[in-house]
Amino acid sequence: MLRISVRSSGEKLTKISYVVTVFNKAPFLPSVIDSLRNQTGSFDREFIFIDDGSTDNSIDVIRTATSGMDDVRVVTQPNHGPAIATNNAVSIATGDWIKLVDSDDVIAPYCSELLLSNALAHDLDFIFGSADYYDMATGPVFPKTDIASLKAILFDDPLWTVLDRGFARVSHCLFKKDLFNRAGGCDPRIFSQDHSLFIRLMSHGKLGQIKHVVCLGPEDEPGRIMNNQAQVIHDASIALAYFLADHPGIPADKRRLITKKVLSRVRKWEKKELGKGVFGQANRYYILARLGVAVSGATLVSLCNVIGDGQELSVPAKTDLPVLQDVSHEL
């Protein structure tokens, strides 16, 4: 049943589309869905769950946990990874704003209301809060919060801020669907989008931050991508390298920052994990860069593949885009 809320003037309210990508997260989904159900605020909302080829009973859990909720849509696809799953889910979203939620994260009851009110007040395209972890033995707990007292911090150069500080996590952010489309969505060449999506979005929009915890993730969850350091370092580094390769004309200060970050990470990996030290390939490029020689984005992409070499890294599917199956009618 579609729920339409209106202001007293008759103006239609802003709508948030919650997008949850799911792959074998059945134990966490009830808490995730409860946190979605309990969001405060006066805005329209819809809930899109996209199952990326789960082999557990995630779909059954979604059916049970969303019982009684309005505007729930569930779609499935063969396993292609979170980037393609997110792109597919956003493509069918009808909201003005997109709220991504990892399928093992819980968001605070005030999360959406806090982020949306500040985004609208400052005409932002993208806003994010702080994220933290919870003890799986005790469960997630958020403190009582006076959201009226929390104000957004604005950034003069959003892209530099993201490149320099390297924000990661998707459950603590809210952004316009139009921004996502203008940025080209998630990069299907990269498995984890925690770093990549921030970079792509911030080359097109206005950014704000709320320094207050709005989401929590399980601290010791074995299947969490963030627990695989090789995956995290590889995907964060190659996100920068791809961005430089795709935008060779970016200002020199941003080019130097990207080059320094990528080469530093690859050098450390070669030294610590491969024992190459000064004889590593990245070290040679690092010296050239210090001498003022430009290193291409394509070269940095190639060097990033050293990170995690010989270890088990998740990679995006290389096949054609999957066909979505809408199973909402089965709820």
* CA distances, 327 to each of 63, 75, 91 (Å): 10, 6, 17
Residue type, 178: D
* Cα–Cα distance, 227 to 102 (Å, whole number): 15
Helix (H, G, I), strand (E, B) or coil at 126: strand
**pLDDT (0 to 100) of residue 153:** 95
| Residue 320: predicted pLDDT | 60
**What pLDDT score does 328 carry?**
75
Q: What is the pLDDT of residues 29-85, one digit of tens each?
A: 999 999 999 999 999 999 999 999 999 999 999 999 999 999 999 999 999 999 999
CA–CA distance, 101 with 98 (Å, rounded to integer): 10
Q: Cα 254 from chain centroid?
A: 22
Share the mean pLDDT of the chain.
89
Torsion of CA 164, 165, 167, 172, to 10 degrees: -130
What is the C-alpha separation between 35 and 29, in angstroms, rounded?
10
Per-residue model confidence (pLDDT) at position 331: 56
CB 31 within 8 Å of CB 140: yes
CA angle, 304 then 100 then 209, to 5°: 85
For 15-222+318-330, which CATH class? alpha beta
Report d(CA 173, CA 127) in Å as an integer. Answer: 6
| Ranges for all domains in the chain classified under CATH 3.90.550.10 | 15-222+318-330
pTM reported for the whole predicted model: 0.90
pLDDT at 3: 39
pLDDT of res. 47: 98
Q: What are the helix (H) ranges across the chain?
A: 29-37, 58-65, 82-91, 111-121, 158-165, 177-182, 196-202, 229-246, 252-274, 281-290, 297-304
Distance between CA atoms of residues 212 and 299, nearest Å: 38
Res 292 pLDDT > 70: yes
pLDDT in tens, 185-237: 999 999 888 889 999 999 899 999 999 999 999 987 766 666 678 888 999 99
Question: How high is the pLDDT of residue 322?
Answer: 67
> Distance of CA 95 to CAs 66, 98, 145, 170, Å?
19, 7, 26, 17
Pair 182, 98: CB distance under 8 Å: no
Instruction: Pick the closest to residue 183 from 172, 198, 193, 161 (CA basis).
Output: 198
Res 4: pLDDT: 34
Q: How far is residue 244's CA from residue 258's CA, in Å, rounded to a whole number?
A: 7
Q: What mean pLDDT comes out for the span 159-186?
A: 91
Strands 173-176 and 15-22, by their bridges, are unpaired
What is the distance in angstroms between the CA of the first residue and the CA of the last residue of the chain?
13
pLDDT digits (tens, 9 = 90+) for 252-290: 999 999 999 999 999 999 988 888 877 888 889 989 998
State how far the Cα of 238 lies from the Cα of 302, in Å rounded to an integer.
Answer: 9
Check residues 257 and 11 and name the one with the higher pLDDT.
257
pLDDT band at 7, cuts 50/70/90? very low
Q: How far is CA 40 from the centre of its chain?
A: 22
